[in-house]
Amino acid sequence: MTKINTNNWHLQFLSKLWYERLILITCGIGLTMLVAVLTVFQPKFLQESDLLIYDLMVAGRAAPPKSAVPVIVGVDETSLAAFGQWPWPRYRLAALVERLQQLGAQVIAIDILMPEPDRSSPEVVQAERQRDLGDGKAQQPLAMTDSNSQLLADVLRQGASVLGYYLNFSQTTQPALQQGLPIAPDGMAVISPEHSTDLWPKSLGLIRSLPVLTDAASAEGFTNALVDIDGTLRRVPLLLAPQEQIRPSLAMSTLLLYSSQRQLQLTTGGGEVFINWGQHSIPLDRRGNMMLDYRNAQPVYYSARAVMNNELAAGSLQGKIVLVGAWAKGLQDLHLTPSGKWINGLEVHATIIDNVLSDSYISRPDWAKGVELFIVLLLGVACTLVLSRSGFAMSLLILVSAAFVCYVGASQLLVRQGLHLSPLMPILTLVLITSVMGFLKYAIEARKLLIRTQELVEAQDEIIISMSVLSEARDNETGGHILRTQRYVEILAKQLATTAKYAYLSASDIELLAKSAPLHDIGKVGIPDSILQKPGKLTEDEYKIMQSHPLIGADALTKIVTSSKHPEARNFLHYARDMIISHHERWDGQGYPQRLSGDDIPLAGRLMALADVYDALVSKRVYKEGMVHAEVCDYIRAESGKHFDPEIVAAFVARNKDFFKIAQQYVDVTE
């Protein structure tokens, strides 16, 4: 029988252990599934966090040296101070472009939109005067061409040149929007046997420069740059399809003119999209965007004033791609980069050209999201299984180590290979599971500790009662007497706590008073059986011996109180000692063993005095009949101020019905 009980105990222990682990594992798997869903359908705040982590990692990227091919010529503050305010007359732009051609520029890309006639041109000035001032003749429409624009067009024809245009993706159309298909570099061909352009953004219209200029230029390229949700420019489209025809960006058009290779092949492989151009393989996303690999070094820059004043050495731009545009503050097209720096639109074009010519790319393949999801699931399951068995210190070590590996691994892939896999969701998985499971484990352990504490308290109470029963077993009292008086003391203490005088009684104090009650007659163990169990009346000497039992019990507890090192135990034993030594004292000082009176009697003794007398009177014994509850109440009221504390009597009167219920609930079996 003993062996079976032992096995059952082990089975119960294992059952509880597996139940707790099941709760932890279920929680961990549930959190893993939650993060997996968030990985696929990221809310905005997670997208922004993801971009922030990308910016931190890309700051340490090691890349090949910058290409020296792209050169920027900007119309800056010194240029405006030397030649006048912006916009410049187009004859001045013509002079600038012509000078660049003379310095050897192989391709000139102009990031200046010119959709209207030059208002400084004589023809345009004359037409506006006729329109606004009138001369008696019929008003004529403004000229759509002008001599200044014609001068620029003539210069553009002399060399390879690219003009920028703007694609509109907004539903709000503007009157200046023009139609017409932009000019692609001569000989450009796009082969896309596998790749579809369905996911590319669709433009609603475009703004081009004047036809006289676009007809003279070698090609056109769009200048659009689509920022991420946090306003930072990290990727740009290289190809778009206005009017269902694939056209390159300004930077891509410039590269095509720079090379004799004009064929572009769009391919899909390994979850990535590539533009294969000669020896270059440029990674794109499904929307036709290339991720920009910003470099620390600045591109070569010349002021337009220096070019116009012939300050550059002959041939200094030989074989270069020259990007021309506004550079002065207030005129610039500024973009925020991952480093937090603002750069000019010309620098964006230069960065694209540099990335392609240096074959320095950052890519995020289509399968990257799938890999991140797999890592989330793997880490979630592994973390759940480990944390369901390990403690807090091990859990924290696992969290820090795994998070460090995730971040460093993703960072090294980006820095060394240009491959972007986000560590955000794997790290979030680790943090979320470790935090929640750690809290859950703490809650489980706290509950187990509470149960163990409660069981210990109950065991202590049972030991106290058992000790009391041992002493009562030698007397005529019963086990029911112990339970009843304990409840009586508790009821009286709770009622007293509602009064101003005894408001200091806390729940803990009341509990200790109630726990002390069973020990009130513990001193009877030192009384001889001949006296304790004598059926008749005690002699005077025997009665004196009987009156010593409070001192015997108090002396025993005094030794325990002195040796105890635990404050809570000392507190309990203090209440118990007070109750033992003074529960036979009377309010009028006629009690024993110390003949204390009034408030000099400890509260514990005054409470037990009333509880003990009530139970003795109301209980039936073999040698007497029990009194009726109402009669006992009358007796106790009559003894107020004599035997009992008047305030405790008042508390009894207020709660006497509860006394009666307790007497009925714990009635002795012998009755």
Q: Which domain holds residue 383?
A: 31-60+366-447
Question: Considering the domain boundaries, does residue 462 fall inside one?
Answer: no
Pick the range with the lowest mean pLDDT from 11-15, 104-108, 396-400, 575-579: 11-15
Same domain, 525 and 384: no
Question: Considering the domain boundaries, does residue 7 fall inside one?
Answer: no
Same domain, 565 and 612: yes
Asked whether 168 and 204 are in contact (CB, 8 A), the reply is yes
Specify the pLDDT at position 3.
42
Question: Considering the domain boundaries, does residue 21 fall inside one?
Answer: no
Query: Has residue 143 got a pLDDT over 50?
Result: no
Q: Give the CA distances from residue 68 to residues 316, 322, 351, in Å, rounded to whole numbers and listed in that order.
A: 12, 11, 11
Asked whether 655 and 495 are in contact (CB, 8 A), the reply is yes
Tell me how far apart the alpha carbons of residues 286 and 66 are, in angstroms, rounded to a whole number: 27
How many Cβ atoms sit within 10 Å of the Cβ of residue 373?
17
Specify the pLDDT at position 320.
95
Choose among 225, 237, 358: nearest CA to 289.
237
Last residue in a domain, options 325, 358, 391: 358
Specify the pLDDT at position 353.
94
Specify the pLDDT at position 31.
92
Amino acid symbol at 425: M
- 307-356 pLDDT, tens digit each: 999 999 999 999 999 999 999 887 767 889 888 888 899 999 999 999 99
Cα distance between the two ends of the chain: 36
Same domain, 345 and 385: no
Same domain, 130 and 208: yes
Query: Has residue 385 got a pLDDT over 80?
Result: yes
The three-state secondary structure class of 240 is strand
Question: Token pair of 664, please?
Answer: 């009925």
Tell me how far apart the alpha carbons of residues 459 and 541 are, in angstroms, rounded to a whole number: 39
Tell me how far apart the alpha carbons of residues 560 and 127 are, in angstroms, rounded to a whole number: 116
Give the angle 484-657-586 at the CA atoms, nearest 5°.
Answer: 60
Query: Has residue 17 got a pLDDT over 50?
Result: yes
Average confidence (pLDDT) over 425-434: 90
Specify the pLDDT at position 13.
45
Rounded to 10 deg, the angle between the 629-638 and 646-654 helix axes is 160
Same domain, 403 and 325: no
Alpha-helical segments (H) within 474-566: 479-496, 507-516, 529-532, 540-546, 549-563
Question: Considering the domain boundaries, does residue 640 fall inside one?
Answer: yes
pLDDT bin (cut points 50, 70, 90) of residue 134 is low
Question: Considering the domain boundaries, does residue 328 fall inside one?
Answer: yes
pLDDT bin (cut points 50, 70, 90) of residue 671 is very low
CATH code, domain carrying 556: 1.10.3210.10
Same domain, 481 and 610: yes
Query: Has residue 412 got a pLDDT over 80?
Result: yes
Element (H, E) at 301: strand 300-303
**Average pLDDT over the chain, rounded to an integer:** 85
Average confidence (pLDDT) over 645-671: 89
Average confidence (pLDDT) over 398-410: 89
Query: Has residue 670 got a pLDDT over 60?
Result: no
Pick the range with the lowest mean pLDDT from 6-15, 286-295, 392-401, 473-482: 6-15
Question: Considering the domain boundaries, does residue 5 fall inside one?
Answer: no
Amino acid symbol at 98: E
Q: Count of domains in the chain?
A: 3
Tell me how far apart the alpha carbons of residues 557 and 585 are, in angstroms, rounded to a whole number: 18
Element (H, E) at 10: helix 2-40
Specify the pLDDT at position 310.
93
Same domain, 432 and 514: no
Element (H, E) at 300: strand 300-303
Question: Considering the domain boundaries, does residue 267 fall inside one?
Answer: no
Same domain, 111 and 140: yes
Same domain, 409 and 338: no
Residue 591 CB contacts under 8 Å (≥ 6 apart), including other chains:
584, 585, 601, 609, 643
Asked whether 557 and 580 are in contact (CB, 8 A), the reply is yes
Same domain, 336 and 399: no
- 552-569 pLDDT, tens digit each: 888 877 776 666 666 666
Same domain, 335 and 312: yes
pLDDT bin (cut points 50, 70, 90) of residue 649 is very high
Question: Considering the domain boundaries, does residue 1 fall inside one?
Answer: no
Same domain, 429 and 535: no
81 dihedral zone (left: phi>0; alpha: psi -120 to 50; beta): alpha
pLDDT bin (cut points 50, 70, 90) of residue 287 is confident
